[in-house]
Amino acid sequence: MFTKKRRWMWLGLCIVLAGCASAPSQKSIEAADKPRKYNPVPLLLRQAEDYLARDRLMSPASGNAYDRFRAVLLIHPEHPQAVSGLQQILIRYMELGREALRKEDIARARRMLVAARKIDSHNALLAEFEQELRQAIEVAQKGRVVAARESEFLLNGDELAARSDSVQQVLRNVAQGLQGSDKSVLIVARSDAEGRWLYKALRQAANGQRIRGDIKIDTVPRIVLLPPIY
């Protein structure tokens, strides 16, 4: 049998124990107050994939796939989607480079190669494309040499100094090549006086036809036909 005093003591103890059980701990309070850490990776990956689909590979600076995938790798260095994304960018640059080669746009093909090297300069795909680019450059250079030979008229220095008939014949050939076209000429002479004489003689050979072009000083005198000036 509890006395009245003991009953009150027992009731008080139960209240204290109940309070302890229901009161939150300090750790739980701190956990609830602590903000959750923001994870930017999902958003970065969504943006990167969107830019990749729109060929925003490394530009513009305000938003491109390369920067987004790199940002992910700074957070998770081995993130598989980001690693794969960079590889896709490299492959896309190779596609654009080959497309440029088909159009004989070597300058653009070079730019695509330079961009791809920033991603992985040791990639085997780059070696294949570099070989294709070298071959295209060799073909283009051969073509330019042939074109230059067909449109370049060399002048013998001694005969030019003597204003010989052979030089006059070369000028007549040049004038004939200018007839009915909008081509211009580059007169390469050894001095200003020689260049002015060639220009005057060429106009006479062309029967006063207007000659458009320029004079350049060099050690090898010649006349080069150039594409029309618009």
Which pLDDT belongs to residue 12? 52
pTM reported for the whole predicted model: 0.51
Provide, rounded to the nearest whole percent, the portion of the chain with pLDDT above 90. 37
* pLDDT digit string, tens, across residues 100-138: 998 888 889 999 999 999 999 889 888 899 989 888 887
Range of the domain at 59: 41-146
* pLDDT digit string, tens, across residues 144-187: 544 444 578 888 888 899 999 888 888 888 888 787 777 888 89
Which pLDDT belongs to residue 89? 97
- Same-domain pairing of 142 and 161: no
Report how far apart, in Å, the C-alpha atoms of 228 and of each of 56, 86, 92, 185, 204 are.
Answer: 37, 44, 37, 9, 21
Is 35 inside a domain boundary? no
Is 13 inside a domain boundary? no
Is 115 inside a domain boundary? yes
Q: What is the β-pairing status of strands 184-189 and 213-217?
A: parallel
- Same-domain pairing of 79 and 57: yes
Is 12 inside a domain boundary? no
Which residues sit opposite 153 in a β-bridge? 223
Instruction: Say how many domains are in the chain.
Output: 2
**Mean of the per-residue pLDDT values for the chain?**
82
